[in-house]
Amino acid sequence: MRALLQRVSSGKVSVAGSVTAAIGRGLVILLGIAPGDGQEQAAFLVDKIIHLRIFSDDQGRMNLSLLDVGGSALLVSQFTLYADTRRGRRPSFTDAAAPDLARPLVEYFAGLLRSAGIPTGQGVFGADMLVEIQNDGPVTIWLEK
């Protein structure tokens, strides 16, 4: 499981011209699922994400977590995080999980965020989405489990 975190002052997802989710200060989480992933990987990454100290304190140092700042999360399923570009010019996505495995894990991941007290918006699984972010910093972190 891979997660690309972007610290944002705001973010939103639109599908077919309609906003499906929007957040203020927090994290946009692009989440990729691999065939062998399960609830254990999701729980590990959610715990890491909500406690990761990547928000600035009063002295401007990255010392606060998503929980500390009362931030939100915008979760977007992103199978392209498993793109294999080693050969040729067209990425292969064979390392990404099939939708029947990925969809329930994305929902489980979102549920874990909400259970931890993080207001969580979501993209629409499998849809062509427009993701808008106001990257803060910019701070972008790659996590893998």
Q: Is the dihedral of CA 1, 103, 128, 8 positive or negative?
A: negative
Annotated active-site residue in 6, 41, 55, 79: 79
How far from the centroid of its chain's Cα atoms is residue 12's Cα?
12
Q: State yes or no: is 78 an active-site residue.
A: yes
80 tagged catalytic:
yes
SS3 71: coil
Catalytic residue among 6, 41, 78, 122: 78
In angstroms, the CA 110 to CA 106 distance is 6
**Positions marked catalytic:** 78-80
